[in-house]
Structure 1
Amino acid sequence: METRLSPSLLAWLRCFEATARHGSFTRAAGELCITQGAVSQQVKQLEQWLARPLLIRTPRSLVLTPEGKWLGVVLRESFESIEGTLSQLRRAPRSDGPTTLSCSPSFAMRWLTPRLGHFMGQHPEVGLRVYGEFHALDRTRMVHDGIEVAVRFDPGQYEDVQATQFLDEWLVPVASPAFLAQHPELQTPVDLNPGWLLHDASPWDGGDEFAEWLHWFQAMGCPAPELKQGQRFNLSQLALGAALAGQGVAMGRAALVLDDIVTGRLVPLFGRSVQSHASYHFVSQRFPSEAMRLIEAWLHDEARQFRALRAQTLPAPRA
């Protein structure tokens, strides 16, 4: 029997693939920008056309049947291949143009940009545009927004894009010498007045506004104070700017504060670093271009050099 991929069948398959990947009609509807009812109806029509169930609907969840799992895998791989090819074709006419790098803003300003001269010197043939963004990424968003490659600071857990950790992160509270001179009583973590704390309220897309301080206090074996009393900012760069101005104590990420520590503009407190739950990832779609491979290799090399300097400057987190 001949099977043609009619427009209706393609729509049914797209809805089923998104549902199988998310395990939810609601999340699939959000990705496809249609209603939950429309997604459910499209999947039901596919099941009727195949004359077999693909999903077992329970009050709490959707469970794929063996046939549903098989079809879901085939569709996912097929759609990834199609989207990757389309992305390559869209880039082809402007292959001599610049490559766009979407990067977490604070990391772009304090770590990436000061090092870009090294990359430009090594690869003058590669044009590079950097955009400061920190929204979470998946395959659909990268294709839709035309994002070729990105750097993100987050806990990872990417599923449908290529993501490689190139730099881990150490957390250490920092303050200016002037602030410490005004508060000589600040000797141990329990001396931290919650009103002094400067928070990056968006450590990563979806991250809790107090996630880094809570993790640090837990690792130090100290109860966390009332964190809501401190100042809050939507970028780590802004919290660090307040610390540099003597307004309080910021949670420093080593990648963002090491230069200020080396020059004495900021002072690390309490003689201990804590391993962050988040790290820096190089994120790309499938089939990376030569420029993307060069950028990734350069980031890994710069990260290796940075880790060596970090180890000389800060105490390593305890295992």
Structure 2
Amino acid sequence: MSSAPVRTPPLRMVEAFEALARLGSRSAAAAELNVTPGAISKQLRALERWVGQPLLEEDGRDGAFTAEGRGLAQSVTAGLAQIRDGLDALRPRDTGRVPLNILAPATFAMKWLVPRLHRVDRAAPQLQVTLRPTNTGDDWLSFPHHAAIRRDGFVPQGYDTMPLLRETLTAYVAPSLARAASSPEAVPLCESETRPGDLDRWLAAAGVGRIGQARRRHAHFYIAYEAALAGAGLIVAPTLLAANDVAAGRLVAPWPYVAIPGTAYAFVHPATAAMRKRVAPFLTWLKAELEQLDEGPGGGAPKDPAPA
């Protein structure tokens, strides 16, 4: 006997939540959905009742999501993007621009690529770029794509690969913890199942042996990262992904002199002449953006950011 299907909340709740997560304010979400900010707040409260837990911090600030809210935002944004892409693919259009579907790791997409993606329109106006975030364990080859940014080292047969960069990892904490952190042993620890070993390697590099404080383990890195932003503990993270939060004062690196190498990123795509030609403008732009990165615990922001 088959199990009962899992219920889903009304679409208007999900759309309001996703718009707030993507746009960062109730007023912007309301304008996009053609409703009032009060209606957005009402749908958010209804969704919290539906899931049975808070998705926004108690102060109610726009974009101040709980760790659970951030995780749900990631899933909902990806899901609605897939629905929109599927519907959009059925609509006849002739924009004269070349469609380019790019897959990228979720945290890299959210923290580094998305804030820069608007600049592709200037660098390669002939492209219509659609970005889809992927999670560790996804069967990404089954997703429609022209190219993918990968950090797992796997290159499918029949694909070209171009190395992009290797991560530098260091430890970050929220400012509230930094003031009390005399050493890594003095703060709780956050880690994820999708980046096993990073925390232990960094602790070893810092000269920390066996430690007794609690570890909070999360299924995905972006959830562990959001927990660290909220003050839950120390997170070992790539410098390029933490750069904006460091610049905004949401994270600090108390031990910047302790850094370890992380995984390497690569750009992969089907090895055909037509695909090489299609992806070339985007790859040129991507490499130029990466060449602007600063080194160090606050690195990841462009040295001389292009105007928005």
- The normalised TM-score by structure 2 is 0.58
Q: CA deviation at 1:245?
A: 1.4
Residue 96 of structure 1 deviates from its aligned partner by 5.3
- In the TM superposition, residue 273 of structure 1 has moved relative to its aligned partner by 3.9
Q: Where in structure 2 are the equivalents of 1:70-81 lying within 5 Å?
A: none
Alignment-derived partner of residue 293 in structure 1: 280
Q: Do 2:173 and 2:234's aligned partners in 1 also have CA atoms closer than 8 Å? A: yes
Aligned to 1:158: 155
Letter in 2 for 1:305: Q
CA deviations over 1:123-142 (Å, ceiling 9, x no partner)? 1220111111134699xx73
Q: Secondary structure at the match of 1:98?
A: strand
Give RMSD over aligned pairs.
Answer: 2.7
Query: Number of residue pairs matched?
Result: 202
Taking the aligned partners of 1:273 and 1:281, their CA distance within structure 2 comes to: 25
Distance in 2 (CA, whole Å) between partners of 1:256 and 1:312 is 10
Kindly indicate whether the alpha-carbon contact (under 8 Å) linking 1:170 and 1:273 is maintained by their aligned counterparts in 2. no
Report the CA distance between 1:224 and its aligned residue: 4.4
Q: 1:256 aligns with which of 204, 219, 241?
A: 241
Report how far residue 116 of structure 1 moved. Answer: 0.5
Report the AA paired with residue 221 of structure 1.
G
Shift in Å, 1:157: 5.5
Contact 2:174–2:230 (CA under 8 A) maintained in structure 1: yes
Tell me, in whole angstroms, the C-alpha distance in 2 between the residues paired with 1:230 and 1:199. 7
The answer to whether the 8 A contact 2:190-2:216 is kept is yes
1:213 and 2:199 aligned: yes
Aligned pairs (5 A) from 1:187-198? 187-189=182-184, 191-193=185-187, 196-198=188-190
Take 1:131 and 1:158, find their aligned partners in 2: how far apart are those partners? Answer: 19
Report the CA distance shift for 1:296/1:134 in structure 2 as closer, same or farther (over 3 A): farther
Q: Quick one: distance in 1 between partners of 2:220 and 2:297?
A: 27
SS in 2 for 1:221: coil
Letter in 2 for 1:122: A
1:126-165 Cα deviation digits (max 9, x unpaired) = 0111111134699xx73x54432111223x2636332222
Provide Cα deviations, 1:13-71, integer angstroms capped at 9, x if missing partner.
xxxxxxxxxxxxxxxxxxxxxxxxxxxxxxxxxxxxxxxxxxxxxxxxxxxxxxxxxxx
> Which digits, 9 at most, give the CA deviation of each residue in 1:172-219, with x for residues without a partner?
1111111223xx2x2233x244xx11112212xxxx3xx111221232
Pair 1:219–1:242, CA change in 2 (3 A): same
How many angstroms apart in 2 are the aligned matches of 1:258 and 1:224? 29
Where does residue 193 of structure 2 map in the other structure? 201
Q: Deviations over 1:208-265 (max 9, x none)?
A: 3xx11122123233324368x4222233222222122122111121111011112221
The secondary structure found in structure 1 opposite 2:268 is strand
Q: Which residue of 1 aligns with 2:101?
A: 100
Correspondences of 1:18-37 after superposition (within 5 Å): none
Match of 1:121 in 2: 122
Gaps of 5+ in 1: 1-93, 315-319
How far apart are 1:297 and its partner, in Å?
1.4
C-alpha displacement of 1:313: 4.1
- In the TM superposition, residue 115 of structure 1 has moved relative to its aligned partner by 0.5
Q: In the alignment, which residue of structure 2 is the partner of 1:147? A: 145
When residues 114 and 226 of structure 1 are mapped into structure 2, their CA distance, relative to the original with a 3 A threshold, is: same
| Paired residues of 1:176 and 1:243 also in contact (CA < 8 A) | yes
Structure 1 or 2: more helix by fraction: 1
Determine the C-alpha separation between the residues in 1 that align with 2:169 and 2:100: 31
Structure-to-structure mapping, 1:225-236, within 5 angstroms: 225=211, 229-236=214-221
| Secondary structure class of the residue paired with 1:252 | strand
CA distance in 1, matches of 2:117, 2:193: 28
TM superposition score normalised by structure 1: 0.56
**1:268/1:118 CA distance change after superposition, 3 Å:** same
Q: For the structure 1 residues 276 and 99, does the alpha-carbon distance in structure 2 shift closer, same or farther, using more than 3 Å as the test? A: same
